[in-house]
Amino acid sequence: MTSRAIILSFIIFTIALATNWFLDDSNPLPDTEDLTRNDADLYMHDATIRQFSDNGMLHHELSAERFTHFPLTDWTTLVSPNIVLFSDDAIPWAITAQQGRMITNSSFREEVVELWGNVLAIKQNPDGSFINIQTQELTVYPERDYAETDKKVYIDDNSGRTTAASMQANFVEGKFSFSSGAFDRVHSLYIPSYRR
């Protein structure tokens, strides 16, 4: 009788184990790694995104060799980005870099384009006057035509060169604010031969 109870218990245990295994296999729980992955969901090559102002004028455009969007963070990485700020029919600023990231606007933030790697911002006027800004990192707020950096910056124009530890630029108003740092002071070099 004891051996029958042991055999019966073993059979019940085996059936329960097999049933549990089949149920687990047919309804697998989601892998927690899948819930936290941020795989890209959109790629674009040699594309341009244009933004228009409320009055229908082209306000700015962003081009890149490659756009890669990541849905979890809602960021888009950029390879060789080029952003042009038209500033309501004013002479545009053209800004290029090696890499970048676009953070799209939402109810909590405005659109931001972060650029790094040989960043160059150029404004070339028809009369030959110009302004060039060079730095290693630049954060651009296209809707406000505003940019800033906390990296060393070089600004060249027709009258010479200014260097600074950081910069804030309002492109519409043509106002620049330069700051010194622990090792870099704001320094301007006037070169008369630059004048036209």
pLDDT tens digits, residue range 38-86?
Answer: 787 888 999 999 988 888 888 899 999 999 998 888 889 999 999 999 8
Assess whether pLDDT exceeds 50 at residue 35. Answer: no
Exposed, middle or buried by CB within 10 Å (0-12, 13-18, 19+), for 125?
Answer: exposed
Of 163 and 21, the structure prediction assigns the larger pLDDT to: 163
pTM of the model: 0.75
> How many angstroms separate the CA atoms of 3 and 59, rounded?
87
